[in-house]
């Protein structure tokens, strides 16, 4: 059972809901962890997200400020490379996957250094609008064909990594946008790390930063990873 954990939350203009997210994580960790390192990575927000977290939660939360928006992948990488606890979880700022789902991932941590939540694996519970579900399925086919296959869902924003493995992979990864997820999973496979996929409960949250254009971005990034593979960019 994991009792010592870093949680990385990337945030861009999340002032409206970041307080509730932090409160839920802190309450959960008090009952389930011996030690928590909570890193909120502010990705160049313009709405005072970082100031709000620091003012409200003080020394219970560490805020990492990126001077300008770099993308979700860049924000998560910043948090991963700053993590100091033996295991790390990254979760989305809207907690569309409830923090309590960490119990499902942690229960499998003795099997692999990477345990990923899945919105589409058998047994998952997903409440999404029909269009988003359809676009997500199409994106999964593209990722499977161009980058890495064998996963029901590479893009779920709820993943548990052994910290040393995550830091190695994220140092090699190049993608700064949403495609960082499948790039890192491709690298995990390349370097022989086992990955366990676990179905999780997901709820659609109003105000999500995922838009139709995000799926076009993922397509471009899948092509970029495919091209990087062909050019031998990911040296062993």
Model pLDDT, residue 91 = 98
| Helices (H) then strands (E): counts for the chain | 8, 9
Q: How far apart are CA 110 and CA 112, in angstroms?
A: 6
141 Cα distance to chain centroid: 20
Residues whose CB falls within 8 Å of the CB of residue 222, separated by 6 or more in sequence, listed in order: 142, 143, 146, 147, 179, 182
Model pLDDT, residue 145 = 66
Model pLDDT, residue 116 = 98
Among left, alpha and beta (phi > 0; psi -120 to 50; other), residue 33 is beta
Residue 6 contacts residue 39 (beta carbons within 8 Å):
yes
Model pLDDT, residue 217 = 85
Q: Which residues of the chain have pLDDT under 50?
A: none
Residue 92 contacts residue 9 (beta carbons within 8 Å):
yes
CATH code for the part of the protein at 4-231 = 3.90.550.10
Q: Which residue has the tokens 């861009």?
A: 12
Model pLDDT, residue 219 = 87
- Cα-flanking dihedrals φ and ψ of residue 32, to 5°? -125, -10
Helix, strand, or coil here: 38?
strand
């Amino acid at each position: 059972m994991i009792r010592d954990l870093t949680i990385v939350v990337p945030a861009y203009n999340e002032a409206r809901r970041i307080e509730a997210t932090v409160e839920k994580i802190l309450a959960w960790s008090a009952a389930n962890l011996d030690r928590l390192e909570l890193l909120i990575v502010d990705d160049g927000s313009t709405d005072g997200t970082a100031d709000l977290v620091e003012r409200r939660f003080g020394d219970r939360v560490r805020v990492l400020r990126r001077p300008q928006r770099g993308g979700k992948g860049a924000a998560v990488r910043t948090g991963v490379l700053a993590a100091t606890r033996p295991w790390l979880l990254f979760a989305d700022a809207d907690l569309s996957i409830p923090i309590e789902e960490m119990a499902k991932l942690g229960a499998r941590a003795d099997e692999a250094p990477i345990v990923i939540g899945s919105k589409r694996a058998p047994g998952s519970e997903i409440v999404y609008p029909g269009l988003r579900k359809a676009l997500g399925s199409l994106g999964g086919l593209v990722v499977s064909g161009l980058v890495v296959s064998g996963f029901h869902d590479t893009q779920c924003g709820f993943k548990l990594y052994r910290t040393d493995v995550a830091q190695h992979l994220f140092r090699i990864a190049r993608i700064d946008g949403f495609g960082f997820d499948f790039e890192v999973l491709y690298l995990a496979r390349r370097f022989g790390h086992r990955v366990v996929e676990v179905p999780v409960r997901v709820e659609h949250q109003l105000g999500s930063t995922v838009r139709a254009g995000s799926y076009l971005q993922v397509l471009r990034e899948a092509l970029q990873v495919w091209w990087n593979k062909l050019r031998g960019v990911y040296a062993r």
